[in-house]
Amino acid sequence: MNEDSKSTVTVDDIDYEVGQDNIQVMGLDIHNPVFVVSGGIIVAFVILSLSFPATTEEFFSWLRPWLTDNFDWLLMIAGNLFVLFSLALIVTPLGSIRLGGADARPDYGYLGWFAMLFAAGMGIGLMYFGVSEPLTHYESALGGVTSEGGVRTDWAPLGGTEGDPGAAQALAMAATIYHWGLHPWAIYAVVGLSLAFFAYNRGLPLTLRSVFYPLLGERVWGWPGHVIDTLAVFATLFGLATSLGLGAEQAMAGIEFLFGIEASDANKVILIAFITAIALGSVVAGLEAGVKRLSEINMVLALILLLFILLAGPTLLIVTGFFQNAAAYATYFLPLANPFGREDVNFLHGWTTFYWAWWISWSPFVGMFIARVSRGRTVREFVTCVLIVPTLLSIVWMSTFGGAAIDQVANAANAALSEASNDLKLFIMANAFPLTQIISFLGIVLVVVFFVTSSDSGSLVIDTITAGGKVDAPVAQRVFWASFEGLVAIALLLGGGLVSLQAAAVATGLPFALLLVVMMVSTWLGLRGERYVTTPATTSAG
């Protein structure tokens, strides 16, 4: 294939104006039929779920195990492909392409940029699982310490060393970091890079259908594009609802722990409604005044909490644990990523495939949000920062909170920690530290602020998709989506709780995984076309 034929994958002479197909109704800027179809189905889902909670719970209780039992291999293979694709972009010449053109410069400094992408990508999850997941793996799910002090050897891919509790901790931390390291951030990097490239370098609307232009051509403006964007809305909304539901569960557990207010369904609904109202204010304020400011507040509060646990807890163990855990992650990476012949079915289905589906369902939201704040970065800079820096921060976070929790259990310093529910483990662990009330309250505040950041970021993203790629759609439209994010979270909580939340994430993430695999191919073609078109021009200009 010669250079001329390679350049045919570029997107040239596109006669499309963002928002040209929209209609204005009652102050809304509707991209028909994406807004109508997705909005109508979601409204119907909320009504039916609230009307028949028992049926909703029964359906989702069946749905999640059926999906994970039959399609775990698909999610595992897709996750591995995203990591390989992202690493390839870092080392190939395509990494030198700048998002927005050769003269583009970043709109945000590194600190603000990192704060926004990290808060949007992981916030509530790190608060919910930072203590509970490492401790769960340490005690039971894999390599757990037995009652005789030995190490379970029933996790076939890795096994364990009988009589060595240190091996249990290594396995537990490796598995935890695997779920919060390269794989989720590679998913976000693929979507974010694809959207940023086709929006800033090709002038296409900032919406999922644009990424498929090299493969579908003008058909992306027809029904294939409508289907892609509608699926993106569903995935984003239900992925967000899962996170918001988990956040509400944890915040309410903390409120009950500190103030004695019962963590009833009614109080959880009130809490979600209250936080959604706060999110609405941030949504109305917009990206710069609302989301960016809240993201920076998140980072400061998270850093304070992290430093307190680090300094007041087993400091040396946590610091050395960072390097040991990173090494364990590297050592066990391939067995953990193996999609075939696994005997650890409970771990694979209960944790990994759920996480991968959750991250994938989040990817339109996080990817588009990252794309909106990443203009001016090179492909190599973008992928490296989105992939490597958050992975390192996740290792620090899990090593600090998970390491402190495991130390308390291993030394019998906090008997209640093992018995506590997942949404309460953070606060029970903090109970063994000085200034318990303050630290627990800070944890609740962090969950709430992460909740708000995710909600208003997601609202901006869904609003952009349903407005055909417009980034300045009417405020009333943002309010509509922010409100329904809260309502979907309420519907899922009342219709089965955590089981329904997780099942909804898997159900929307699974079909979207296929779209993301095709998206990688389309992005590769677009980047190759950019290189072959721009390189000769640059050379001749020199």
- Quick check: is 363 in a domain? yes
Whether 123 shows a pLDDT value over 80: the answer reads no
- Quick check: is 516 in a domain? yes
Structure-model confidence comparison of residues 242 and 91, the more confident one: 91
What pLDDT, on a 0 to 100 scale, did the predictor assign at position 67?
86
Which pLDDT tens digit goes with each residue over 402-461?
999 999 988 877 778 888 888 889 889 988 888 888 888 888 888 887 777 777 777 777
Into how many domains does the chain fold? 1
For residue 33, is the peptide bond before it cis, meaning its omega torsion is within 30 degrees of 0? yes
Structure-model confidence comparison of residues 344 and 446, the more confident one: 446
Nearest CA-CA partner of 328 in 125, 169, 531 = 169
Mean pLDDT of 305-318: 91
Q: Are 395 and 325 in contact (CB under 8 A)?
A: yes
Residue ranges in 137-222 assigned as alpha helix (H): 165-180, 182-200, 213-216
Backbone angles phi and psi of 452, in degrees to 5: -65, -45
- Quick check: is 212 in a domain? yes
- Quick check: is 379 in a domain? yes
Look-up of token digits 């009130």: 270
Token pair belonging to 418: 């093992």
What pLDDT, on a 0 to 100 scale, did the predictor assign at position 521?
94
Spatial neighbors of 283 by CB under 8 A, at least 6 apart, are 290, 455, 456, 459, 460, 475, 478, 479, 482
> Coil, strand, or helix at residue 25?
strand
What pLDDT, on a 0 to 100 scale, did the predictor assign at position 241?
80
- Quick check: is 463 in a domain? yes
Q: How far is CA 150 from CA 99, 168, 272, 346, in A?
A: 53, 9, 43, 21
Q: Are 373 and 117 in contact (CB under 8 A)?
A: yes
What pLDDT, on a 0 to 100 scale, did the predictor assign at position 155?
47
- Quick check: is 146 in a domain? yes
Would you give the end-to-end CA distance of the chain in angstroms?
A: 27
**CATH code for the domain of 247:** 1.20.1740
Spatial neighbors of 542 by CB under 8 A, at least 6 apart, are none
Nearest CA-CA partner of 372 in 291, 455, 453 = 291
Query: Cβ of 413: how many Cβ atoms within 10 Å?
Result: 11
Which pLDDT tens digit goes with each residue over 354-398?
889 888 988 887 888 788 888 899 999 999 988 888 888 889 999
Domain of 382, in residue numbers:
15-536
- Quick check: is 67 in a domain? yes
Q: Are 187 and 516 in contact (CB under 8 A)?
A: yes
Token pair belonging to 376: 């001016």
Report the Cα 297 to chain-centroid distance in Å.
Answer: 19
- Quick check: is 203 in a domain? yes
Mean pLDDT of 147-168: 50
